[in-house]
Amino acid sequence: MRPYEKQLFIMKHFFRVLTLALLCALSIPRAAQADAQGNMLRALSQKYGSSVVTLQLVIKSSMGGESNQAQLEADGLLIDPSGLVVTTNSAIDPAALYASAMGEEAMGRIAFSVVSAKIRLSNGQEIPARVVLRDRDRNVAFVRPLKKPTQTLTFVNFKGKTTGQLGDSVYILGRLGKAASRVAEANTMRIIGVVDKPRRFYVLEPMAYYYTGNVAFAENGQPLGLITIKAGRGSMSSSDSILATIIPAADVWEVALQAPQANAVKSSTPAAKPAAKPAAKPTPKTKP
Amino acid sequence: MKITAIAGLYALTLFHPDIALAADSVVHSDPVSSTHNTTRLAQINSARPATDVDVAPQLVQSIADKVKPALVRIHVVESNTAGGREVRSEGFGSGVIITPDGYAVTNHHVAGDATWVSVTLSNKEIVDAKLIGADPLSDLAIIKLEPREDGQPYPVAQWGDSDSLRVGETVLAMGSPFAFSQSVTAGIVSNTELIMPDNDDFTLAGEQVGSIVRWIGHDAPIHPGNSGGPLVNLRGEIIGINEISMGLSGAIPGNLAREVSTQIISKGHVTRSYTGLDLQPRLRSDAHTSGALVGGVLPNSPAQKAGVKPGDLLLSINGEALDVRFPEQIPLANLQMARLPLSEATTLEIERGGEKMTLSMQARLRDAVMSPDREIKGLGLTGMDITAPIALEYKYPNTDGVVVTTVQDGGPAGSAKPAIEEGDVILAVREKPVKNLAELRAVIGQISRKEGGTPTLVEVRRRGERVLTVANVNPESTEDASVEVAKAYLPISTQVVTEELVQALKLPTGTQGVRITQVHPGSAASGAGLRVGDVIVKLDGLEVEASQEEDTDIFPAMIRQYKIGSWAKVALLRRENGKWQSKQIGIKLPQAPKTERELASYRDTNFGVTMRSVTYTDRLKQDANPGEDGALITGVDEGSWAALGGLENGDIIHRVNGIAVNNMEEARIQLRLLEKQKPRRVVFFVARGVRTLFVELQTDWGQSK
């Protein structure tokens, strides 16, 4: 190739080469970023994945004299070494969410109660448990094993005061269902709103409602809070009436401190007393 | 006069539609033909008994007067299974007394599953009754009324001859539609051999009612509640038992009902023969003029043993010729076979391949298709014994085991791993075979009850496979005693002050906050001086930033941040002398009242009622009157004594058998005392809204369980 032809070649292809180089340069941060998110998800899953448990509940609904019961599963999170699990109150009391949207009167006298509860650990072990505390305002409920487990449990410490801001990504740990052999799942979502009154909570992208009962971590890998759903007052059918939200970890822990032991939770309904039986009459002695 | 005569004729058509035909011809006739039509009317009238035409309204009255005393309105509590449990429900129907000692006939679907029966006579007298027996194949049942206190016999209705009915004959349907007191409707016989349309089965307890019943179709209107009531002719005789309505009304022929009633009264059930023959009408391509086509022969049946084969033409049974050319003739043929003697052989004449032959068949006793299904407490399912027909139909090897009919979701069977399913046949428990319900109940009853249940090995047959599962049997029932987080609250009700309200109330521009809509009487709020109409704008210096309807929860949530018993300073605006004045009021925040779920409640199993004490919140929400105490009923079990007696949710019990009760605990004590005394009836004095009433309940104190 003659010199001027060489220059011509370089000039002709210069912009193509330059464009290619620029594209490569720009994609490197994105790939790196995606990789960073993946790394964080994997790290959190490895560290905390087994703290995500499945609650197996039998719920009874009663209205008037009729009652029905149904089995259901809900996601929960171990938050202390004794096996205390936090979940959403709406998972165990479907009426509560409806009532908060439509008012107590809309529910009439229908009532939901938990007939039985089990905590299914990540290794498949099922531990009999009991619902011990509910907070309708924050839409959280606490379940405690009937007997303290002997094994060491992985839990997420909710005592910290990590905060987030609009636009932050959060890392979510959950657990897939039976169809996926209940393996741990991990995903990211964004905070699309921050509400400060009357107390702070974070609003997530709408699809995050799927992760109700799961834990959300902030961008620094610290627990941000529990994903719940919040119903706005008014029709349940409007698109913005149900929000996926994060209740800050500190708020959850504040309520958890009130959770009694499982055997301390006693029914306020008086137990049926056995009917009194008359004392046996003394047998008269026969005379010799 | 002609117009008056025509109007009179049309009035009569209410009870005798035939006359309408004659009336039409009178109305439209010309002067020439009217003479002819009048003659024709006379000819029509002369062909009938004088009573059909001349005194129709009075005749209906006399028939009603004759039969009504024997009519009963039937009220039942029946037991059905659903969701793994036996559930009770109430039902109503009609019946008619057929013997002086109080046997009454009705439908199986009215009283066949009854656990409790009460009837109301036409004189409004209420009498208890019991189920004697039921026959699902004919949809008939017999109940017996308790003897009268004065020992007098019951009025009875007489049977007529349903075989002599003709299309066009006037009939009356009597009964208690919609559980109203007895009523009468009239119509004509539309069809004396009504069968179900193709592919439309009427099945009851596994029996196809249409296999032996050809209904009397008529157009006397019948409605829900008429079931079991008599269809009577113009002599006041029972010629049918009303049963179905499918556009036309349908009654079981009286002759069949009489036969079934007699058997049930004498021995408590109906005896029928079983042959295993499935007969069909002769095919259209078949040139024969008699006989019935054998469509099928069931395995191991008397007919199979006798050598009958599908395709044979059955010509006669015990010398009696058979002619089944149309579907309407099948029920009669089936009845003929059902009546075959059990003690001697039956001679069958058949034609096969053009050759006639005689076969000898020994019919055997026909089994019921289905046995009752019952709840197995402790296993969370209902099941039934396997009958021979069920075993045949579902190709079970034998009748051993219990078929699962329903499963309670979340119960021991439903949460077993793998779950026990409807249709499974339970074969063994803890590796010991169970042959029937009684054995299954016995073995489950021996397993100890504990929290969470006892893991128990169960074997089931499922579509030919033998599957093992482990169910946690006999779990101790636990109540959900979880508590709500205790929160402080301000005993008022509020609404958000919207911009529209600010303008309408002439509040200072930009005012945000909540307006008090109710101050709970006798509360800390009323004691502190808060009033309806006050507008709260600040709480301990913090502005109440509520200005839209969506902000409803802002103020209550601010209150809930406080600790119970702490003081809060409320800054408010109050209108005095037409001007808004600022004020500050301090208030000590009490603990929020318990939720409904947390309130102590008591369920009385004798009456099937759940109650709790009236609370402050009930009075606030006007579910109770101011100052009212008592036991508030929160649940009435369906089909329970409380439901039958008319107790309702929301009733507040004030007295039990005259003893005042101020709360749930006092009501519970009274009911437990009565359980020892076991009176036949208990009277509750209750408040229902602003009214009060006496509700009288009866109970058997658990004897019928």
Express each pLDDT in A21-52 by its tens digit: 665 555 555 566 668 899 999 999 999 999 99
**H or E stretch covering B34:** helix B31-46
Tens digits of residue pLDDT in B165-212: 999 999 999 999 887 778 999 999 999 999 987 656 788 888 988 899
Contact B610 A275 (CB under 8 A): no
Return all residues near B280 (Cβ < 8 A) that are at least 6 apart. B292, B293, B294, B295, B324, B330
To the nearest whole Å, the CA of A268 is away from the closest chain B CA by: 5
Mutate to test the interface with A, among B470, B479, B480, B542 (most CBs of A within 10 A): B480
pLDDT at A288: 33
CB A158 within 8 A of CB A252: yes
State yes or no: pLDDT of A66 exceeds 90: no
State yes or no: pLDDT of B482 exceeds 50: yes
Pick from B487, B557, B598: CB nearest A268: B598
Is it true that the peptide bond before B418 is cis, omega within 30 degrees of 0? yes
Contact A260 B602 (CB under 8 A): no
Pairs of residues, one from chain A and one from chain B, whose beta carbons lie less than 8 Å apart: 122
pLDDT band (50, 70, 90) for residue B40: very low
Contacts of B554 in chain A (CB under 8 A): 197-198
CB contact B543 to A (< 8 Å): no
* Annotation marks residue B323 as catalytic: no
CB B360 within 8 A of CB B318: no
CB contact A268 to B (< 8 Å): yes
Tens digits of residue pLDDT in B505-546: 999 999 999 999 999 988 999 999 999 999 999 999 989 999
To the nearest whole Å, the CA of A234 is away from the closest chain B CA by: 8
Q: Which amino acid is at A183?
A: V
State yes or no: pLDDT of B674 exceeds 60: yes
To the nearest whole Å, the CA of B401 is away from the closest chain A CA by: 27
Strand B483-484 to strand A126-135: parallel, antiparallel, or no bridges (unpaired)? parallel
State yes or no: pLDDT of B24 exceeds 60: no
CB B377 within 8 A of CB B447: no
Among chain B residues, CA nearest to A274: B672
Whole-angstrom Cα distance, residue B469 to residue A96?
36
Among chain B residues, CA nearest to A233: B550
Contacts of B563 in chain A (CB under 8 A): none
State yes or no: pLDDT of B317 exceeds 70: yes
pLDDT band (50, 70, 90) for residue A275: very low
Say yes or no: ipTM exceeds 0.90.
no
Residue bearing the bigger pLDDT, A100 or B547 = B547
State yes or no: pLDDT of A284 exceeds 90: no
- Mean pLDDT, chain A, rounded, equals 80
Contacts of A116 in chain B (CB under 8 A): 410, 452, 475, 478
pLDDT at B475: 87
Chain Cα centroid distance, residue B122:
23
Among chain A residues, CA nearest to B88: A66
Give the burial string for A95-107 (b: 16+ CB within 10 Å, else e).
bbbbbbbbeeeeb
| pLDDT, mean of residues B613-630 | 81
Structure tokens at A264: 């301390």
The helix-helix angle for B2-12 and B17-27 (nearest 10°) equals 160
To the nearest whole Å, the CA of A50 is away from the closest chain B CA by: 23
Backbone Cα Rg of chain A: 28
CB B314 within 8 A of CB B322: yes
State yes or no: pLDDT of B354 exceeds 70: yes
Structure tokens at B322: 């058979």
* Annotation marks residue B109 as catalytic: yes
Pick from B83, B635, B638: CB nearest A68: B83
* Other CB atoms within 10 Å distance of the CB of residue B38: 14
CB contact B610 to A (< 8 Å): yes
Whole-angstrom Cα distance, residue B290 to residue B325?
8
The helix-helix angle for B31-46 and B17-27 (nearest 10°) equals 160
* Other CB atoms within 10 Å distance of the CB of residue B617: 15
* Annotation marks residue B566 as catalytic: no
Find the range with the poorest average confidence among A20-34, B22-36, B457-471: B22-36
Contact B602 A270 (CB under 8 A): yes
Task: Assign 3-class secondary structure to B224-292.
Answer: CCCCCCEEECCCCCEEEEEEEEECEEEEEEHHHHHHHHHHHHHHCCCCCEECCEEEECCCCCCCCCCEE
pLDDT at B494: 95
Question: Which residue among B52, B113, B135, B139 is the active-site one?
Answer: B139
Whole-angstrom Cα distance, residue B666 to residue A161?
50
Hey, CA dihedral for A100, A104, A108, A113, is it positive or negative? positive
Contact B640 A65 (CB under 8 A): yes
pLDDT band (50, 70, 90) for residue A143: very high
Contact A116 B475 (CB under 8 A): yes
Most confident of A114-123, B229-238, B447-456: B229-238
User: Residue A32, by phi and psi: left (phi above 0), alpha (psi -120 to 50) or beta?
Assistant: alpha
Whole-angstrom Cα distance, residue B182 to residue B232?
14
Among chain B residues, CA nearest to A197: B554
pLDDT at A9: 61
Contact B482 A130 (CB under 8 A): yes
One-character DSSP codes across A106-159: GGTT-EEEEEEEEEE-TTS-EEEEEEEEEETTTTEEEEEESS--SS--------
For residue B306, give the nearest of B357, B255, B252, B233 by alpha carbon. B357
Chain Cα centroid distance, residue B232:
27
Structure tokens at B648: 């309702």
Q: Which amino acid is at B559?
A: I
| pLDDT, mean of residues B565-577 | 94
Residue A102, φ and ψ in degrees, nearest 5: -105, -5
Question: Which residue among B16, B108, B109, B654 is the active-site one?
Answer: B109
CB contact B344 to A (< 8 Å): no
Whole-angstrom Cα distance, residue A61 to residue B485?
22
To the nearest whole Å, the CA of A267 is away from the closest chain B CA by: 5
Among chain A residues, CA nearest to B604: A272
Q: By percentage, how much of chain B surpasses pLDDT 70?
A: 91
Pick from B452, B482, B557: CB nearest A128: B452
Contacts of A201 in chain B (CB under 8 A): none
pLDDT band (50, 70, 90) for residue B56: confident
Entry field: residues in chain B: 705
Residue bearing the bigger pLDDT, B132 or B417 = B132
Strand A169-175 to strand A184-195: parallel, antiparallel, or no bridges (unpaired)? antiparallel
For residue B205, give the nearest of B86, B332, B83, B108 by alpha carbon. B108
| pLDDT, mean of residues B231-257 | 94
Pick from B452, B484, B649: CB nearest A109: B649
pLDDT at A234: 56
- Strands (DSSP E) contained in B151-228 are 170-175, 183-194, 203-204, 207-208, 215-218
pLDDT band (50, 70, 90) for residue B415: very high
Contacts of A124 in chain B (CB under 8 A): none
Question: Residues 172 to 201 of A: which have CB under 8 A from any B CB?
Answer: 197-199
Contact B451 A132 (CB under 8 A): no
Residue bearing the bigger pLDDT, B548 or B382 = B382
pLDDT band (50, 70, 90) for residue B595: confident
| pLDDT, mean of residues B596-601 | 79
Whole-angstrom Cα distance, residue B303 to residue B442?
39
Contacts of B479 in chain A (CB under 8 A): 113, 267, 269
pLDDT band (50, 70, 90) for residue B54: very low
Whole-angstrom Cα distance, residue A127 to residue A115?
15
Residue bearing the bigger pLDDT, B487 or A46 = A46
CB contact B599 to A (< 8 Å): yes
pLDDT at A25: 56
pLDDT at A21: 61
User: Residue B160, by phi and psi: left (phi above 0), alpha (psi -120 to 50) or beta?
Assistant: beta
pLDDT at B138: 96
Structure tokens at B135: 């026959």
Contact B554 A198 (CB under 8 A): yes
